[in-house]
Amino acid sequence: MNCHYCGRLIEYLPWRCRHCGNYFCDDHRLPEMHDCPELGVERSWEEWTRRREGVGVEVGRAMEEFEGESVVLTELEDALRNKTPALLSKSLFSETDIIRLPVQLNPFTEANLRNALWYALREYNVRGEANLKGGRIDLLCEHAGLKIGIECKSDFKNVGEKDFGYEAFVDAFYLASFGGVCFDEEYEFSLDYLESKVTGRASALELLRRITFGEAAVDMRGRTLGEVVEHIRAEGSRRHEQEKKRLLKDLMVKYRNGIHFPKPYGVLLYHPFGELWVAKSATAVRKTSGTKARRSTSTEAFINFSVWKHFMEQGYIVTSESELPHAKWWDVVVKRVNVRTKLGIGIPREIRQPVLRGHGRIDVVAMPRSCINEVDSSKVKVVGVECKASDRGLSRLEEQLNSYIMSKDVSHLYVAVPERYERKLRGFLRQFPSVGLLAITKHGVEEVKEAEGLELRDLSMMSVERRVIDGGGKFRERLYVGATDL
């Protein structure tokens, strides 16, 4: 059979045009290629070639758009690497490997991590505590047409399904945590836990615990229950710690160049010395649902960041969302209830029920670096700031200020509000003559009313120890955190 258009012999199965019904070779099988009369429009070969090249142009545009998105993410990652501030300067450890801070100055909080990354991206359009359909994300950066979300965690063990859900409402998503800071375990175990959550496997530490304690239980066959329990506690713990050191060395080698898993979001690890490691770069994935998400920002988060930035640039050690150790206390409430007997008769009785009173979390706490390692509370200045976005909820603010003053955990107490609420808050603070007032203006933070010195109780101290780790790992200098009451 010959092609109806060019007359060439068809050596294989011919193509039949569904419009005109004729048979054609592979080169002229399309209606546009054989000038099919049933289409009503005749296209020349040159016109068809231009049309095919147009498809290539669209593909090229898509590739250019993808490359442009990668450039935007690379730009933001470079800003994070180069502009993230240091929560603790290396100079603090120049003469000693251990420094001591009041526990209310614990710098390793999620809000402190959020503010540090916010500070690095402050030249971009960044919102803190932004509302999405999936919840409230810590940072939302909109740059060059992309919406980039960052969720901060003090440890990747705290990552849950809700945190992974933010990915559906942004074009690129990052998970951030502390690196080089060890509370109970090294950060490599935190990375392994994150990978286990993503891939659906058990974490390496969980598998190690099952094996080591299981082996200890097998050794005690035929013994009494008390002997088995005692042996597992002693021998199982010893084996676990011994194998844990070997496992850590393997994980240091595994995560030396980053973490890899089949998901588009990135992983950021921040060292309090001001070093940031992009353990995994994010991939931009356009989300149609992201354009429909309701996006707003918390004004209180911006005020928190403004105050944090103000003290940070003055050389203070600053922490955000800090827990004051003595601002909460237990109280006993007497309630009258009816207790029914077996006969169904209600007998009124009084029940004493413990209730936790007070407000323990304050927005910002700052301390001059000269007060580090100082145990004498009379020589320490601890500044506490409560941030408010409006003049509403003054009754709650009154309770908070009373809790902070009674706790004696801060020596100077302030309230920070937007400039337009300054006059009303000034009148409210007449009942608190020792509390100062900060106004957030377009030029920064302005001290409207100076705080008077408050009595500071004996300090509860936490230790931060610097160690240099050999044998692998991205961060060779680690900070180990502990608490000691002095």
> Residue 469 gets which letter from DSSP?
-
Query: What is the spatial distance between Cα 348 and Cα 340, in angstroms, rounded to a whole number?
Result: 9
What pLDDT sits at residue 134? 65
What are the tokens at 389? Answer: 């976005």
Report the C-alpha dihedral over residues 427, 431, 437, 440, rounded to 10 degrees.
-50
What are the tokens at 289? Answer: 């649902």
Query: What is the spatial distance between Cα 128 and Cα 421, in angstroms, rounded to a whole number?
Result: 21
What pLDDT sits at residue 151? 93
From the number of C-beta atoms within 10 Å of its C-beta (0-12, 13-18, 19+), residue 204 rates as buried
The residue ranges of every structural domain in the chain are: 86-298, 325-359+383-455
Mean pLDDT by 10 residues, the chain (486 residues): 77 74 80 70 46 45 50 88 91 89 91 94 88 83 87 88 82 91 84 89 84 66 69 74 84 88 88 92 67 50 93 93 89 83 78 86 93 88 92 88 93 93 91 94 90 90 87 82 57
Query: What is the spatial distance between Cα 23 and Cα 16, in angstroms, rounded to a whole number?
Result: 4
Prediction pTM value:
0.78
What pLDDT sits at residue 17? 83
* Backbone CA torsion sign across 226, 230, 231, 236: positive
What are the C-alpha distances in Å from 181 to residues 42, 187, 396? 72, 7, 35
State in Å, rounded, how far the first CA of the chain is from the last one. Answer: 99
DSSP letter string, 82-111: HHPPPSS-GGGGSS-SEEEEEGGG----HH
Per the listing, tokens 């659906």 go with 200
What pLDDT sits at residue 295? 39
Residue 350: beta bridge partners?
A: 336
* Backbone CA torsion sign across 147, 364, 123, 82: negative
DSSP letter string, 374-429: ---GGG---EEEEE-SSS--HHHHHHHHHHHHHHT--SEEEEEEEGGGHHHHHHHG
Please name the residues in contact with 348: beta carbons below 8 A apart, sequence gap of 6 or more. 336, 337, 338, 339
